[in-house]
Structures are given as C-alpha cells and as structure tokens.
Structure 1
Amino acid sequence: MRRRIVTLTVLAAVVATALFGLPLAVAALWYFREDTGSDLERAADATALEVSDALAAGRVPDQPVQGAATVGIYDRAGRLVSGRGPDTADSVVSRVSAADVDVASGPVDGADVLAVPVMDGAKLAGVVRAAMPHTALLRRVGLTWLAMAGFGVAAVAASWLIARRIAARLAQPLEALAAAATRIGEGDFTARAPRAGVAEIDQVGAALDGTAQRIGDSLDRERAFSAEASHQLRTPLAGLRLQLEAALETPGADPYEAIRAGIGSADRLERTIEDLLALSRERRAPRAELDLDAVLGELRRSGGALLNGRGLRVEVQDPPAARASVAAVRQVLAVLLDNATTHGRGPVTVVARDAGGALAIDVADDGPDLGDTDPFARARTAPPGHGIGLRLARSLAEAEGGRLRLSSPHPPTFTLLLPPAEDPGTPSAE
C-alpha cells in the first residue's frame, strides 16, 4: 500500500509538472526571442543616434560600445567603417541601403541581425548593424529551462517525501487494524484496533471492535451455558442410576418395572437435552401461553423417583396465566428440584400461586437455614458444580422475562416469577 501511494503521488506530481512546465518552457523560448529582437533594436537605435552627426559630416565615428550585441557601422557604399561585423554589407544591411525602410532583420551566419539607417536629411548617411549569435539566445533559454527543470525535480522530490509521510500515516493504522483482525481470527477477542485520527479508518476499527466484543460475549455465553447445561444433564442421569441401583438391591423385584422406570428416565434425559438445545439458540420463537398443568403434571411424575421416597407435594392456588417457554420453565423446576434433592431435607413442596398478577411458583423443602449466603454465587471453596444449576436456572428465567430468587432462607424457598399472559397496561383488542 505504501508503495502504491508513493507511486501514484509522484506520478501525479510528474504529470502536473509536465503539464505546467512544457507550456511555460515554450513561453520562455518565445519571450527570449522577442527580448533578443528588442535588445538588438535598442542597441542599433542608440548607436545610430550617437554616430549620425559623424556620418553626416563624412567623419569616421568612434568605436561603438560593444555590449550583449555586436554593433557595426557602415557607410553609404556598404563598407564597415567602425565596430565589428563583416567588411561589406550583408543581406540585412543591403536591404536597408537599397530600400527606404526603417529597420531590417533576419538570421545571418548563425546570428540574429538587425540594421537601421542613419539619415542625413533625406539622404542615407550610413547603416548601423547590430548582431547577436544564436548561441547567446540558446544559452539564456537553456539556463532558464535548466532552472525550471531543477524546480520541477525539487517539486517531485518534495511530493515524494510528502507521499512517504502520508503513506506511513495511512498505512500504520491499517497495519495495526490488520494485526488486530489477525489476533481476533486467532481467538483473542480482547484485541482492539487503535484509533488513527482518520474518520474512515476509525469507523472500520470501531466496527471490528464491536464485532470482536459480540463474538467474545457470545463465546463466553456458549461456554458458560455448556458448563451449566452439562451439570444439568447429571440430574436425569442420577435418577436413572438410582433406579437401576434400587433394582439391583432388590433381587425379588420385578425387573420389567425397573426397565420401564429406566426408559422413563432415559426419556426425561432426552427431553432435557432437547430443551437445552432449543434454549441455547440465540433467536427463539415468540412466547406462547404456558401450559402450567402439563408442566406440573410432568413434575409430579418425574419428581417422585428423583426424591427417592422423600415426598413431593404440588399445590395449585388459582395461578394466573403466563407467557413463557415450556422448556425453560421445565428446566428451571428441574434445577430447583435437583437442588432440593441434593442440599435439602424432608419433603419438597411446589406451589403455583398468584403474585400480584404474575405467576409465582415456590419450591420449598426442610433443608438447613441458608442465612445471608447467596445460593446463586459460587464461593471459591465450594465443591465443583456447586451453584452451577441455580445460575443456569436464573439465566433461563431472565431470558423468559421472569425472575428467580430466594424468597425465604428458612425453610429454603425459591420462587420463580413469570410475567402475565396479558399486560394490564395494554388495552385489549375489540
């Protein structure tokens, strides 16, 4: 990129210099040619004024001052009487001597020549010839063109230096942006693109930073969900294991009953996997009205085997309708039931009730007093897996627009709050 910027800038400078310099060079050549003619005419006129009296009196005039132009003085016959020039009149001097002209000019033997007459009244007294070699003109034009070329080279060199500076300024943030993109591609989603002070590049950097942030957050959520979901799958596996162990410890029991119970546990495990996969999708379908009777009925059937005889009581106290995913509510209740089985004591009570228009589902047992501890926070000294299921349940409840909280530390009671099916502040359609 740097080379392209420098090349294009230098090429633009060369084209601009050529487009400006070539007409200027032609103009300089025309100017110097006109200036040469003016110099010859001034020299000839000044000399003619000085020697007019001497030529009219028949005397030989003084040697004229030789400057940039070579001046020669000729008599009526065309002979050189003073100054420098050819001994006899050349074609330019002859035109002035033979015709009634004020000035004659033209190239002669590699020089620009101009001749003017010197008059004595109405008669020709002589001719003044001024000449300047072509080499003098070429020298002046060449020096001017050389100076213009030097300025052009200096302009191109300055453009090259400026282009290198601009290219470095533009390339460095882009290189840093590419490095940040490479780090993100390698899995470092904490990489951020530095700001360059160029609005367009900073917009790309901000978009890249936002993308990295979203990917990192999504990956963190997926990892956390995977860890919590794997812990949640242990609940139906534990129920299946308990059923099989109970069948082995009772030799006289009907094996088919144990097989049927194992198949039921396997079905619950499969349903748990399907629920977790559905809930892990980023985009979900609009929430439908929760079939609370079906959820509680399933809880009655599966909870007894999991509690292993401790007892499960499910009460329904005129609960309102709510909109929530059946899979999410089922998994939240499964987590709470597993928590009561692992950490609680005595029978477990599940109560569905009205909580100010919202649906509240309480899960309580006779476990120890939780005091001021936060059951949703995992302590550093807690055993592996402790609190993971409750965090998963809380995240599922919040994803459904509800809440999961510890409503009573003793006896331990967790309450799931779900929004009502109809918002009271929204008027119903007629």
Structure 2
Amino acid sequence: MRRRLIQSTLAVVLVVIAVFGVSLVIVETRTISESARERVESEAVRLASIVDSRLIVEQRVTAEFLRDQVAEDRYAVIRIPGQPPIEIGSKPDGDVISASAPGEEGETVTVQEPRSSVTREVGRTLLIIGLVALLAVIAAVLLALRQANRLASPLTDLAETAERLGSGDPRPRHRRYGVPELDRVADVLDASAERIARMLTAERRLAADASHQLRTPLTALSMRLEEITLTDDPETVKEEATIALTQVERLTDVVERLLTNSRDPRTGSAVTFDLDDVIQQQLAEWRPAYRSAGRAIVSSGKRHLQAVGTPGAVAQVLAALIENSLMHGGGTVALRTRVTGNQVVVEVTDEGPGVPADLGSRIFERAISGHNSTGIGLAVARDLAEADGGRLEMLQAKPAVFGLFLSRTPPQKSRDDGGRQTIR
C-alpha cells in the first residue's frame, strides 16, 4: 500500500509538472525573446535620437562620441547620408536580433544583439523551473511517505486486532488514529470485541453453572438407581423408580432453567405454589446425604404458606443453601419458615463455625469460597432468587443464617402501549 500510494502521488505531481511546466517554459521563452527584441528596438530609437541631436548642434557625429552610448554586447551601425557608416562594437556572428530606427536628419541606426544572450537567459529560467519542479517532486514524495505511514500503520494495527479477535483474545484495544474512517473501523472492532467477551463470559458462566447445578440432581438420581439395583422387593423398586422419575423431572427443569437464564436471567415464570411441597422434597432428597455424614436436617416454622416464584428455581436455591451447610457447616441443619410483611422467608441455618469475617461481604460473589469449593453455588442461588422477584441474603454470620425472601402477592398483569401483557 505504501508503494502504491507513493507511486500514485508521484505520478500526479509529474503530470502537473509536465502540463504546467511545459506551458511555463513556452511562455517564458516567448516572453524573454520579445523582451530582448523590445530592448534592441528601444536602443535603436535612443541612438537615433542622440544622433539627431548631435547633427543639429555640430553637424557631425563621431564613433568616439557614440561608443559610450552602446552596450558592450551590442553592435550598432549608423548610416548618415554623405558620410561613411559608423560602426560601434564588434559585429556578432551567427543568429542575431536586429532593429533599425530612422532619424529626422535622414540617418538610419541599426542595432544588433547576439541571440546567444537570449539563449542564456532562457537557460537560466529553465534551470530555475527545473529546480522548483525537483523541489516539488521531493516534497510530494515526503508527503506521500508521511501519508502512507499514517494510513498503512493503522491498517496494519487493525489487521492485528482482527487477528487477535479471531484467535480468541477479545480484549478491546481502544486505539484511535485521527482518521475518521479508520477510527470508525476501530470502534466497530472494539464493540465486536466487547460483544465476543460478553458471549464468552456467558458461555463459561453457563458451563460452570450447569456443572454445579446438575451435580446434586445427578448424585441423587444415582443414589436412587443404586437402591433399585440392591433390592428385590417390587414395592421398593416401584417407590425408588417413582422418586428417580421425580429426580429426572427436576434435572430437566434445572437444564431448562439454566438455558433460560443464559439467554435472559430476568425471564421468570413465577407462579403461586405451596412452599411446603418444595421444602419436603428437598428434605427427602438431602436426608440420605446428611445421614451418611452423621448429621440431621429438619424443618420448622409456619406451614401451608403460599409463595410466588418458580418452584424449580426455589428448589435449586434451597439445594444450594443445604449443600453449602453440608460442606461448610456442622451439626443439624434447620429450615425454618416465617412471614414478614408481604413476604415469606425460608431461613437455612446450621450449628457450624459460620462464615469467616473476611468473606462476609463477598459471600455471594463468584469464585469466592473459603474451603476450596467452586465458589459459584451462592452466586447462582442469588441470581435464581432475583430472577423470580425474590432475594437471597445472609442474615447472620456466626452461626450462618441465610434467608430466602419470596413474595406472597401474585404478579399483576397489565398491558403496555403495544397491547402486550407485562408483569409488574
């Protein structure tokens, strides 16, 4: 690109110099020639006037008198009737510029100048024009180099940015070059880099959330299948199979919920449901794990409470809190339900050492964990709660008490200006 830009700029300059330079040379040559002829004619008229004055006063003219009146590079001949011609200067050889002027006393004055003087003046003019043209070419080349570097370097930089995006490095560079068109391309590449970064982050987040959220249902399903393989009682097999099918339904709900949240975490399918059903389902699911760990899980508080939310999402939030207590807490885990204002609260607490002080304010951040776990369980649980219009908070650090707040009022449907139903 640099070479093409320099060549095109140089070609334009050479064309301009050729068109205007040749015209200027022709005009200047003609002007110099006309000026030389006018000088010679003026010289002849001046000498004729001098000769007339001399003849009127002294009736004669001498060469000594006129020699000082003629320039050294000119040759003059004065022809006076009745007198021999008077020659002043050396007669030039070759081509000359000649002019004659008659006098009032009948004399004739002829002045000649060698054309070589005109040629020398034309040569000097051509030299000046050539030097100016050369300076113009040099200036054009330098300007073309500067413009080529100004355009080629940003293009190379933009190509490197595009290559980085293609190689999986979506960091925007935020470089601008002072050229509106190139800055527009840089804006588009930076915006694309930010979109790619968001998409990669969402994909990684979905993978991490799926790994974490599917682990518990799969573990529970494996336990039920193991119970089936270890028993010959048809009733037990039927009961365990029914529970396994419930686990499969919950697993399906978890997958659908994860996919929905990956597209838009605000899209919830909140309904009014019986909170006892979700709590009892979680107790039945986690009791074998707590029994294996030599611990207990119980529930207390008000019964038959109606809450607004997505049952599957609420179950996942409670599962995250129960699993967190199993891994990091101690003693008996209690799920207690209560009512505060227009909200239902499910508190999950245990008898363990609680949350360390340095993690208290960051417990719901991703990748924050005090015992080498994934650190995403509570973060996902909070996102699920907020997607249904609820909230998840840590009410107490020692011992740890987490509270899930859910609304008791069904969502109100209204119509927007486009006639569509919206939930408030």
Q: Normalized against structure 1, the TM-score is what?
A: 0.75
CA–CA distance in structure 1, aligned partners of residues 275 and 103 of structure 2: 131
What per-residue deviation string (whole Å, max 9, x for no partner) do you get for residues 245-284 of structure 1? 3344544463233333323322322221222122111x46
AA of the residue aligned to 1:392: V
What per-residue deviation string (whole Å, max 9, x for no partner) do you get for residues 94-141 of structure 1? xxxxxxxxxxxxxxx843321101231xxx1x2111223444333322
What per-residue deviation string (whole Å, max 9, x for no partner) do you get for residues 357-391 of structure 1? 4x444142444241545454666762343x43222
CA–CA distance in structure 2, aligned partners of residues 221 and 248 of structure 1: 39
Q: Is residue 265 of structure 2 the alignment partner of residue 260 of structure 1?
A: no
CA–CA distance in structure 2, aligned partners of residues 35 and 60 of structure 1: 30
1:176 Cα offset (Å): 2.5
> Is the 8 Å Cα contact of residues 393 and 404 (structure 1) preserved in structure 2?
yes
1:146 Cα offset (Å): 2.6
Q: Report SS of the residue matched to 2:221.
A: helix
Aligned equivalent of 2:104: 119
Aligned equivalent of 1:219: 200
1:294 Cα offset (Å): 6.3
Q: Report SS of the residue matched to 2:273.
A: helix
- Counterpart selection for 1:147 from 105, 122, 128: 128
The structure-2 alpha-carbon separation of the partners of 1:384 and 1:409, relative to structure 1 and needing over 3 Å to count, comes to closer
**Which blocks of at least 5 consecutive residues in structure 1 are unaligned?**
87-108
AA of the residue aligned to 2:252: E
> Is the 8 Å Cα contact of residues 239 and 305 (structure 1) preserved in structure 2?
yes
Q: Is residue 118 of structure 2 the alignment partner of residue 130 of structure 1?
A: no
> Is the 8 Å Cα contact of residues 328 and 396 (structure 1) preserved in structure 2?
yes
CA–CA distance in structure 2, aligned partners of residues 153 and 344 of structure 1: 91
The structure-2 alpha-carbon separation of the partners of 1:31 and 1:352, relative to structure 1 and needing over 3 Å to count, comes to farther
Q: Report SS of the residue matched to 1:119.
A: coil
- Counterpart selection for 1:307 from 281, 287, 296: 287
- Counterpart selection for 1:382 from 371, 388, 399: 371
Which 10-residue stretch deviates more, 265-274 or 169-178? 169-178
Which 10-residue stretch deviates more, 368-377 or 27-36? 368-377
Aligned equivalent of 1:46: 46
Q: Report SS of the residue matched to 1:280.
A: helix
The structure-2 alpha-carbon separation of the partners of 1:209 and 1:408, relative to structure 1 and needing over 3 Å to count, comes to same
- Counterpart selection for 2:262 from 265, 268, 280: 280
Q: Normalized against structure 2, the TM-score is what?
A: 0.76
Q: Is residue 337 of structure 2 the alignment partner of residue 351 of structure 1?
A: yes
Q: Is residue 74 of structure 2 the alignment partner of residue 74 of structure 1?
A: no
Aligned equivalent of 2:32: 32
Q: For the aligned residues, what is the CA RMSD?
A: 4.0
CA–CA distance in structure 2, aligned partners of residues 68 and 418 of structure 1: 116
The structure-2 alpha-carbon separation of the partners of 1:401 and 1:73, relative to structure 1 and needing over 3 Å to count, comes to farther
Q: Is residue 143 of structure 2 the alignment partner of residue 162 of structure 1?
A: yes
Aligned residues between the structures = 394
Q: Is residue 320 of structure 2 the alignment partner of residue 335 of structure 1?
A: yes
Q: Report SS of the residue matched to 1:136.
A: helix
The structure-2 alpha-carbon separation of the partners of 1:256 and 1:327, relative to structure 1 and needing over 3 Å to count, comes to closer
Aligned equivalent of 2:214: 233
The structure-2 alpha-carbon separation of the partners of 1:77 and 1:187, relative to structure 1 and needing over 3 Å to count, comes to farther
CA–CA distance in structure 2, aligned partners of residues 28 and 11 of structure 1: 25
Which 10-residue stretch deviates more, 411-420 or 264-273? 411-420
Aligned equivalent of 2:160: 179
Aligned equivalent of 2:379: 391
CA–CA distance in structure 2, aligned partners of residues 319 and 250 of structure 1: 38
> Is the 8 Å Cα contact of residues 276 and 303 (structure 2) preserved in structure 1?
no
1:222 Cα offset (Å): 2.5
AA of the residue aligned to 2:285: A
> Is the 8 Å Cα contact of residues 325 and 400 (structure 1) preserved in structure 2?
yes
Q: Report SS of the residue matched to 1:71.
A: strand
> Is the 8 Å Cα contact of residues 209 and 258 (structure 2) preserved in structure 1?
no
CA–CA distance in structure 1, aligned partners of residues 275 and 369 of structure 2: 35
Aligned equivalent of 2:21: 21
CA–CA distance in structure 2, aligned partners of residues 156 and 345 of structure 1: 90
Aligned equivalent of 2:272: 292
What per-residue deviation string (whole Å, max 9, x for no partner) do you get for residues 55-79 of structure 1? 7746664464353433222344998
Which 10-residue stretch deviates more, 181-190 or 22-31? 22-31
CA–CA distance in structure 2, aligned partners of residues 134 and 399 of structure 1: 101
> Is the 8 Å Cα contact of residues 279 and 327 (structure 1) preserved in structure 2?
no
Aligned equivalent of 1:403: 391
CA–CA distance in structure 1, aligned partners of residues 167 and 381 of structure 2: 33
> Is the 8 Å Cα contact of residues 225 and 280 (structure 1) preserved in structure 2?
yes
Q: Report SS of the residue matched to 2:101.
A: strand
1:233 Cα offset (Å): 0.4
The structure-2 alpha-carbon separation of the partners of 1:329 and 1:77, relative to structure 1 and needing over 3 Å to count, comes to farther
Aligned equivalent of 1:413: 401
Alignment of 1:90-105 (within 5 A): none
AA of the residue aligned to 2:225: L
Q: Is residue 232 of structure 2 the alignment partner of residue 246 of structure 1?
A: no
The structure-2 alpha-carbon separation of the partners of 1:189 and 1:59, relative to structure 1 and needing over 3 Å to count, comes to closer
